[in-house]
Amino acid sequence: MKLAKTFQRELSQNVDTHLLLTDLMPEINKAIKIIHKKIKLGGKLLFCGNGGSAADAQHLAAEYLVRLRPKVNRRPFPAISLAQDTSTLTACGNDYDFSEIFLRPFQALANKNDILICITTSGNSLNVLKVLKYAQSKKISTIGFLGASGGKCKKFCDIKLVVPSDVTARIQECHIFLAHFILQSAEDLLIK
């Protein structure tokens, strides 16, 4: 009985948090438009995040490289996760600092028409903050999937998708929903 009550409470919290996302529609629209525009101009999506957000970064990059929906066959769209190469991550962490693990590959790979997409529940990850600051200095577009108040990263994101929750699981669940919706909507524009 106790487990059922806990499940119901968590499920209600999940649904309630998702319903709050409607307030983000202006930022969602901006994200869809900029992704469409930049890919049309030959740009690519560069994702980053730590822990579960790193897994989401890899997941989302794969869906743009391969496909989002089984019945939509289209050309691959350029996307890469800055968190997918363990050799680069560990070399950079060892030779420089863990705070540089996204910055170094971004400096090597990013171009003016690219978009940096950062995923961070706290918005305070130093390695994400560093790459955002660099992108801003180079006038490269940035989208932040953030949580709670948006943290320090919020200041350096052109588009801020802040999930209004302090619960990490709820933030991550909303991030993947938002990202799927945004990427699918941009994909619809790209394949017209």
Could you give the C-alpha distances from 19 to 15, 48, 158, in angstroms and in order? 6, 26, 23
Model confidence, pTM: 0.97
d(CA 49, CA 114): 17
Q: Cα separation of 144 and 32, whole Å?
A: 13
Strand order in the sheet with 159-163: 79-81, 45-49, 115-119, 141-147, 159-163
Where residue 144 falls among pLDDT bands split at 50, 70, 90? Answer: very high
Q: Provide the residue range defining the domain that includes 140.
A: 2-190
* Burial environment of residue 113 by CB neighbours within 10 A (0 to 12, 13 to 18, 19 or more): middle
DSSP 51: T
Total of domains in the chain: 1
Tens digits of per-residue pLDDT, 107-132? 999 999 999 999 999 999 999 999 99
User: Confidence band (pLDDT; 50, 70, 90) for 1?
Assistant: confident
Q: Mind listing the pLDDT tens digit for each residue in 156-172? A: 999 999 999 999 999 99
* pLDDT reported for residue 16: 98
Q: Which amino acid is at 78?
A: P
> Mean pLDDT throughout 57-62?
98
What is the C-alpha separation between 129 and 67, in angstroms, rounded? 29
CA-wise closest residue to 120 among 164, 79, 175: 175
Give the CATH number, domain containing residue 146: 3.40.50.10490
